[in-house]
């Protein structure tokens, strides 16, 4: 993925929509990881599931995300990556 051809900045969702299209994914199949309010706004307004990585632990400035984590390692405990231990299904 690259930003070649991206002409609009956040809060426009062009970068997210372009990436989804290039990967042949629907918006519903994507997860956006953001650390700025404009990115959260762009993701949410366009139907993307949004996870905020907020190492500063200032959730008020990043309201509206579906999930808030402090560090990427916390994703291991996220329901996004839950594995059914009986079947192995994700």
User: In DSSP terms, which residues pair with 50 in a beta bridge?
Assistant: 32
Model pLDDT for residues 78-89, shown as the tens digit of each residue: 766 665 555 544
**Lookup result for tokens 């953001």:** 34
Which of 22, 30, 29, 31 has the alpha carbon at shortest distance from 1? 22
Residue 24's pLDDT is 95
Cα–Cα dist 43/82, whole Å? 22
pLDDT one-digit tens code per residue, 27-79: 999 999 988 889 999 999 999 999 888 777 766 767 778 888 877 777 777 76
Residue 55: per-residue pLDDT? 75
């Amino acid at each position: 993925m690259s930003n070649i051809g991206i002409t609009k900045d956040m809060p426009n969702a062009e970068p997210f929509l372009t990436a989804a299209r290039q990967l042949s994914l629907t918006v519903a199949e994507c997860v956006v990881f953001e650390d700025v309010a404009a990115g959260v706004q762009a993701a949410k307004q366009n139907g993307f599931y949004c996870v905020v990585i907020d190492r500063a632990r200032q959730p008020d400035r990043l309201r509206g995300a579906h999930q808030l984590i402090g560090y990427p390692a916390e994703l291991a405990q996220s329901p996004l990556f839950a594995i059914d231990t009986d079947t192995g299904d994700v």
